């Protein structure tokens, strides 16, 4: 208990110092550099990587990536776009430190984030700070005040509540979709064979189970531990399906099932007997995480926002939420409730589980009409036919902020 209180005090102190430093810097520095800064909680945040590549092609200034591990970021960029290090306009990748982050936040004219990274006053006037987000799904999200006044989303239904929870009610929401969605549909034939490196047969259908985390350790500053919902290995007294039932029904339909846990998840899903693949393994196989998801035949998820991105594919989606009440009471859910907008996609019985995997095995889409209705209810942002998501985002930014940012090509 004492260590948790100490961690909270440390966090609040750091946030206060950051807010004062950045506020003072924004006020003093009245001329910014032609730099587009990228930083995220994890180095492989695909929204950041895809947007950085698009900016490299179209922005006349320096594209700069602050990385925890610069060598890994370079390898990620080369998976997405081989040869990105060649040429005078190469993306510059710099080792991240707290000191550098503060300085670049102050002096860069463009800043792109995937998570709320810095406690800060809003960046106005000569600065444009864009929150690409890591998805705006059905679960409650609260954060400290931050600099971003432009947010990006793949749907509309929960946007207002997310902005309110993040002290960003005055922010503008650009409905371009998320740049990482481009990787879901950028199929390249040579990618399919790389599934073998992950222990999957490319000739058989496979479903990815992508649950949100129930517990974390060491998340954020200090030793903060998050406990939400009910662990998947907990004993259940109801008749709801368990993860073992997921595997059983998949095998019965001759469909491969693989788990892709959240990067900060403390639970070991492989202990349930289900093959588990990490982000690191996927990148090492020469695929980005979203390229890998784009090769799948269907997805099982829950309160995560990842299934909203996956709507881009038009393939089967099932929502596996055996701890719905426990998660809602501990984390909190936004309105309208997930069961209202996507209730027909819930895998809440052994029969629906069987139907889900059999439909995939037969080459169909699970409850296709309900899937289309779900797209409408959440306000899914459709892609412009002649533009990628990343292109649409940069189009919007260059059009809306041309008076402030004059470096677009």
Q: Could you list the pLDDT tens digit for every one of the 409 residues in the chain? A: 556 566 667 777 877 888 898 889 999 998 899 999 999 999 999 999 999 999 999 998 999 999 999 999 999 999 999 876 655 568 999 999 989 999 999 999 999 999 987 888 898 888 999 999 989 999 988 888 899 999 999 999 999 999 999 989 899 999 999 999 999 998 778 889 999 999 999 999 999 999 998 877 554 444 456 677 777 776 555 778 888 999 999 999 999 999 999 888 777 778 888 999 999 999 999 999 999 999 999 999 999 999 999 999 999 999 999 999 988 898 889 999 999 999 999 999 999 999 999 999 999 999 999 999 999 999 999 998 889 999 999 999 988 876 555 555 5
Q: What is the pLDDT of residue 221?
A: 41
The CA distance from 158 to 196, in Å, is 38
- What global pTM score does this model have? 0.92
Q: What is the pLDDT of residue 87?
A: 52
The CA distance from 182 to 47, in Å, is 10
Reduced to 3 states, what is the DSSP secondary structure of residue 93? Answer: strand
Q: What is the pLDDT of residue 234?
A: 63
Distances (CA, A) of 146 to 23, 122, 275, 335, 381: 11, 6, 38, 24, 25
**C-alpha angle with apex 19: 13 to 21, nearest 5 degrees?**
100
* 205 DSSP assignment: -
Nearest to 125 by CA among 28, 48, 60: 28
Structural domains present in the chain? 15-177+386-400 (3.40.50), 184-377 (3.40.50.12580)
Residue 239 CB neighbour total at 10 angstroms: 8
Evaluate whether 361 touches 253 at the Cβ level (below 8 Å).
Answer: yes
Distances (CA, A) of 55 to 62, 146, 295: 9, 23, 26
Nearest to 334 by CA among 163, 220, 178, 114: 163
């Amino acid at each position: 208990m004492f260590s948790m209180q100490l961690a909270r005090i440390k966090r609040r102190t750091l946030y206060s110092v950051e807010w004062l430093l950045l506020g003072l810097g924004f006020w003093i520095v009245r001329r910014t550099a032609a730099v587009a800064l990228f930083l995220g909680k994890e180095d492989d945040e695909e929204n950041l990587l895809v947007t950085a590549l698009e900016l490299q092609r179209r922005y006349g200034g320096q594209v700069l990536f602050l990385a925890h591990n610069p060598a890994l970021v370079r390898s990620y960029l080369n998976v997405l776009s081989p040869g990105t290090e060649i040429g005078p306009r190469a993306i510059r990748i710099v080792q991240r430190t707290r000191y550098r982050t503060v300085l670049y936040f102050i002096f860069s004219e463009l800043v792109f984030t995937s998570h709320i990274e810095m406690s800060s006053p809003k960046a106005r006037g000569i600065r444009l700070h864009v929150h690409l987000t890591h998805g705006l799904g059905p679960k409650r999200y609260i954060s400290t005040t931050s600099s971003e006044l432009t947010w990006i989303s793949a749907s509309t239904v929960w946007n207002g509540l997310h902005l309110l929870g993040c002290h960003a009610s005055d922010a503008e929401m650009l409905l371009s979709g998320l740049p990482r969605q481009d990787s879901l549909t950028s199929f390249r034939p040579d990618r399919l064979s790389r599934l073998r490196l992950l222990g999957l047969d490319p000739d058989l259908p496979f479903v990815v189970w992508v649950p949100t985390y129930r517990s974390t350790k060491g998340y954020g500053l200090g030793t903060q531990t998050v406990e939400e919902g009910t662990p998947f290995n907990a004993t259940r007294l109801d008749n709801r399906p368990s993860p073992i039932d997921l595997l059983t029904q998949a095998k019965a339909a001759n469909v491969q099932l693989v788990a892709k846990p959240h990067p900060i998840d403390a639970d070991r899903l492989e202990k349930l007997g289900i093959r588990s693949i990490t982000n690191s393994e996927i990148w090492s196989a020469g695929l980005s995480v979203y390229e890998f998801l784009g090769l799948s035949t269907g997805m099982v998820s829950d309160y995560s926002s990842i299934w909203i991105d996956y709507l881009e594919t038009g393939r089967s989606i099932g929502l596996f939420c055996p701890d719905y009440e426990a998660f809602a009471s501990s984390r909190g859910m936004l309105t309208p409730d997930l069961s209202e907008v996507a209730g027909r996609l819930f895998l809440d019985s052994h029969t629906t589980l069987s139907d889900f995997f059999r439909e995939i095995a037969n080459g169909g889409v699970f409850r296709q009409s309900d899937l289309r209705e779900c797209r409408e209810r959440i306000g899914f942002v459709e892609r412009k036919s002649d533009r990628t998501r990343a292109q649409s985002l940069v189009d919007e930014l260059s059009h809306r902020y041309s008076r402030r940012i004059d470096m677009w090509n």
